[in-house]
Structure 1
């Protein structure tokens, strides 16, 4: 997607929000029909039947007829694609769309090409039932057959054109890089580089904590609560923008510098899942401590470092050049002699091999193992690149 920031007038913003309400209403109706399916009934209506029902509903309800038929039909198209993705196993089950969270709609067909350039920095798109809406030209507008208008929780509007760019060509140098992802260091490269994803500053974190305390004292539904939530959304949006910018720049740099990129094959969804409750066998109805607070902090650290976003963008930009390596014991294996032992990991940042005395940054050592495609079995057997006749040496002999 090629996204631009749009600046609607107050009247245009009200019309855009009305279109978002229509698209959200149609989506939720389609989801309700799909969710009511049972084994003793026939199949649920598809897109063609739902489009016919939409035409009948527009003839009866004036508030629905006042909206754009293109927006409402594309909401049905989006839901149909979401159901197909769910049955294909590539996406999760479609969920309900909520006001203030899912604000957006899609325009497709000939109406998506109604774009005109106003000046060197500004252009305008003709949105049905809204008019010409200006957006900032931060790059050239691609030739797309559809675009999507969205509004984030901070209140900013964007227009995103559905245009897939060409992947970045390989440099042809034959260089291979390994990437070890962590919480303290976002990405450690086998070349020795340590990359850190920018986060909120200490002052911004203190401000967010104050807003969270203030939100707890606000009455639900009050205007004061809405203002506090808007201020919190502004800080969260700032952190997300910094993370996305770092992911884009880092992935582009890696795709241009290396022919092959090897990363750990991590299941981030399972790693960031909530810990299960532990029932207390001695007290019915009571539960044992499961360190939920510590796990939530770890989950927050994983998500704020953009682990999944970095690999996802690398797979798109360096298509066919990203390899996933089994991460088993890569942080405990020496990249020089191949000796694998828990004692090699002296601390979170220091790796000191107890066999050969090799000392390095722990994340860089793991990245070197990933770049070589090394992984050990569950029995922690010594890899094949180490001579079986080699005797372990003390670390002090280095």
Structure 2
């Protein structure tokens, strides 16, 4: 919501990459100090001690002194916050930052106010040790206390202001919608709408396969290999941009139309893990087939449809209005009579109830069950429809 595309000059790109290298070096150095902790050595340096060490290092090394102290000190502060988040259990363990993959730095304080609007379409921000850099005005610039400069694998530069946008207001109609996520159909709504996340076209997929084959034949470290890697990164970035655009538009539309949004409670990270190898008891040191290539294709399909991103953005935009429903046997349960059986779902797209004969799209039927909040037990038993006014009965012994 607050990210803008930057257009630095070639000289400014070199200076930006140097600043990214300084921030990455300081982060990795702090991570190395933190990783060397042992009970015998005692505590590792904290943020204040690392800032003093940074000041001493800048006095000794000229290449480090040529960079911005704000950028380097903020990298230490970001690492300190990452360690606190790790100990709090909200984030994973801090990892190493690599060149070409983690290119970016953050600016905080009074320097964030150095933003000037040039005209209707362009603005400029003054970065320390670099100067004024232009960026495209796709929306109004928010009033933020910090911003982050990043560079993706395609070489595109962006500036993102740290501002949390307000949630989308509810329509107040009381409507409830269920969202069923799938691989063939990215999202099916209980209203009957089938939404598909756009990806690479057939021609782009053929070009991606051709480039991957060329990459396998390139010599490591050669210029041709770098060119092929850049072309592959361009295709992957194109697919990611389309997926992100679809997620933003879909989540905004759903949040504006419905008061309550019910989705499946899926653990996407666990679902997309690679299968564990199976040892062959007959042949020590050998392994049995575990269908890892089929699982890899399923993982790519799940990630390409943005299952996790869609629910995350819905929770951001429809705060307090997203409910997660147990997905147990919702695709096999009839949304009309409630009968649950494996034979109800004839195929991926066709649902035909063996009890009442109800026929509908399988994904839409599952979305209706999710909207109703229906969940079936592990024994696939349909809960009996008993009047709430009925007097409770004593259980009889077998």
Instruction: Identify if the C-alpha distance between structure 1 residues 213 and 160 changes in structure 2 by more than 3 Å, giving closer, same or farther.
Output: same
After alignment, is 72-81 or 239-248 more displaced?
72-81
**Matching of residues 5-20 of structure 1 within 5 Å:** 5-20=5-20
**Matching of residues 104-183 of structure 1 within 5 Å:** 104-183=104-183
State the SS of the aligned residue for 2:374.
coil
- Post-superposition CA distance 1:259-285 (Å, at most 9, x none): 000000000011000100001101111
- The residue that corresponds to 1:394 in the other structure is none
- The residue that corresponds to 2:383 in the other structure is 383
- The residue that corresponds to 1:87 in the other structure is 87
- Post-superposition CA distance 1:217-259 (Å, at most 9, x none): 0000000000000000000000000000000000000000000
1:313 pairs with 2:336:
no
Return the TM-score normalized by structure 1.
0.96
Gaps of 5+ in 1: 388-398
**Partner Cα separation in structure 2 for residue 298 and residue 81 of structure 1:** 35
**Partner Cα separation in structure 1 for residue 293 and residue 233 of structure 2:** 23
1:367 pairs with 2:362:
no
**Partner Cα separation in structure 2 for residue 160 and residue 107 of structure 1:** 10
Name the count of aligned residue pairs: 387
- Return structure 1 stretches of 4+ with deviation > 6 angstroms: none
Alignment RMSD, CA only? 1.0
- The residue that corresponds to 2:204 in the other structure is 204
Shift of 1:26: 0.3
Shift of 1:44: 1.7
**Partner Cα separation in structure 2 for residue 58 and residue 206 of structure 1:** 50
Shift of 1:41: 2.6
- Post-superposition CA distance 1:106-133 (Å, at most 9, x none): 0000001100011111100000000000
Shift of 1:49: 1.2
Instruction: Identify if the C-alpha distance between structure 1 residues 286 and 50 changes in structure 2 by more than 3 Å, giving closer, same or farther.
Output: same
**Partner Cα separation in structure 2 for residue 308 and residue 41 of structure 1:** 41
Shift of 1:314: 0.3
**Partner Cα separation in structure 2 for residue 295 and residue 128 of structure 1:** 48
- Post-superposition CA distance 1:67-97 (Å, at most 9, x none): 0000001101111111122122222111100
**Partner Cα separation in structure 2 for residue 156 and residue 329 of structure 1:** 44
Gaps of 5+ in 2: 388-398
1:285 pairs with 2:285:
yes
After alignment, is 49-58 or 227-236 more displaced?
49-58
**Partner Cα separation in structure 2 for residue 80 and residue 373 of structure 1:** 42
Shift of 1:386: 7.7
- Post-superposition CA distance 1:169-193 (Å, at most 9, x none): 1000000000000000000000000
Shift of 1:379: 1.5
- The residue that corresponds to 1:24 in the other structure is 24
1:273 pairs with 2:273:
yes
**Matching of residues 221-370 of structure 1 within 5 Å:** 221-370=221-370
State the SS of the aligned residue for 1:178.
strand
- Post-superposition CA distance 1:8-46 (Å, at most 9, x none): 011111000000000000000011011111122312221
- Post-superposition CA distance 1:181-213 (Å, at most 9, x none): 000000000000000000100000000000000
State the SS of the aligned residue for 2:330.
coil
Instruction: Identify if the C-alpha distance between structure 1 residues 278 and 386 changes in structure 2 by more than 3 Å, giving closer, same or farther.
Output: farther
Preserved CA contact (<8 Å) 1:338 1:386: no
Preserved CA contact (<8 Å) 1:172 1:259: yes
Preserved CA contact (<8 Å) 1:337 1:386: no
